[in-house]
């Protein structure tokens, strides 16, 4: 595997950063997870747009233009002959001192890794998954805003640990008001009749690229798409539930906190949206060939 670091490619065993990089020392940086399908990078522009939005929020000046960043991603995929897979794009504050002051970091560092990922077992996509609500509260907007896709994912990891301890793969995180925010690494949707509902971004949900894509596909299919505050009660009484994410794609949920959702099987709306999503990934994106 060849890894892109600041304009050069390195073998994976030689792809290294400094121990004084503030991305390592303090989680001071941002990232994107991107997918390639059928020789195309899916929603690359949208991912790069979100990367630069995260950078602006933390006052991090990326030393590359938007088009140069897109080219770095495409070149890394080509160098690794990756036609289907997962791309991790990371921008750190760069090398600094042991102190917190970000102004001591001379230049941000850009890293692109292109490889494979399998987030959940195949049978979960076919039969659905069980998830639980955890005690760890989603970050407050005036602390570390959940809209920033930062390298500091400790909030999510603590919730993931609770999921692991409960024997499930994923967990629901509530915000400080007790409303559903998102899962540890995925956005959450429920279906009620012909309505598709998902927590609003103001509740603590990430500006998910797959989230937005699924909402567009649902509208095109004639569903009403709403973003109300959702409680656990709303989830328990949904007809269907599913999660979305770049790595997860669309995965059905059939049990939440011991309550069976719908008839306990992946629902028809989930299946139809997954089919539409897969069709879209096969024919759109930044070409790699």
Q: Is 81 known to be catalytic? A: no
Residues in the chain: 289
Q: How many CA atoms lie within 13 A of 76 on its CB side?
A: 33
Q: What angle do CA 7, 97, 111 make, to 5 degrees?
A: 20
Work out whether strand 40-41 and strand 29-37 pair parallel, antiparallel, or are unpaired. antiparallel
Hey, what are 83's tokens?
């036609």
Hey, what are 114's tokens?
């292109």
CA distance 3 to 18: 15
CA distance 169 to 193: 27
Residue ranges with strand state E in 25-78: 29-37, 40-41
The residue annotated as part of the active site, out of 8, 149, 160, 192, is 149
Residue with tokens 């999510």: 156
The helix or strand, by DSSP H or E, that contains position 90, with its residue range, turns out to be strand 85-92
Contact between 243 and 188 under an 8 Å Cβ cutoff? The reply is: yes
Backbone angles phi, psi at 51, to 5 degrees: -60, -45
Backbone angles phi, psi at 24, to 5 degrees: -80, -45
- Max alpha carbon distance in the chain (Å)? 57
Residue 202, sorted as left (phi over 0), alpha (psi -120 to 50) or beta, turns out to be alpha
Residues involved in catalysis? 149
């Amino acid at each position: 595997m060849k890894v892109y670091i600041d304009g050069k490619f390195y073998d994976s065993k030689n792809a290294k950063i400094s121990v004084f990089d503030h991305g390592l020392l303090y989680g001071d940086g941002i990232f994107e997870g991107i997918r390639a399908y059928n020789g195309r990078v899916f929603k690359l522009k949208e991912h790069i747009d979100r990367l630069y939005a995260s950078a602006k929020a933390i006052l991090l000046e990326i030393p590359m233009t938007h088009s140069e960043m897109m080219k770095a991603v495409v070149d890394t995929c080509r160098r690794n002959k990756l036609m289907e897979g997962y791309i991790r794009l990371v921008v750190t504050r760069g090398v600094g001192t042991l102190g917190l002051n970000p102004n001591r970091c001379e230049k941000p560092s850009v890293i692109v890794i292109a490889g494979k990922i399998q987030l959940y077992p195949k049978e979960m996509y076919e039969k659905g998954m069980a998830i639980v609500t955890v005690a760890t509260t989603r970050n407050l907007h005036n602390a570390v805003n959940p809209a920033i896709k930062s390298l500091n994912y400790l909030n999510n990891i603590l919730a993931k640990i609770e999921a692991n301890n409960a024997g499930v793969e994923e967990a629901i995180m509530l915000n400080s008001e007790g409303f559903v925010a998102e899962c540890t690494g995925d956005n959450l949707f429920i279906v009620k009749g012909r309505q598709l509902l998902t927590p609003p971004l103001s509740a603590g949900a990430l500006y998910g690229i797959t989230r937005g894509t699924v909402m567009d596909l649902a509208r095109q299919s004639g569903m009403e798409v709403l973003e109300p505050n959702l409680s656990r009660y709303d989830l328990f009484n949904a007809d269907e539930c599913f999660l979305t994410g770049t790595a997860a794609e669309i995965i059905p949920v059939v049990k939440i906190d011991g309550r069976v959702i719908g008839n306990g099987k992946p629902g028809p709306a989930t299946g139809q949206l997954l089919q539409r999503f897969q069709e879209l990934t096969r024919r759109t994106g930044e070409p790699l060939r």
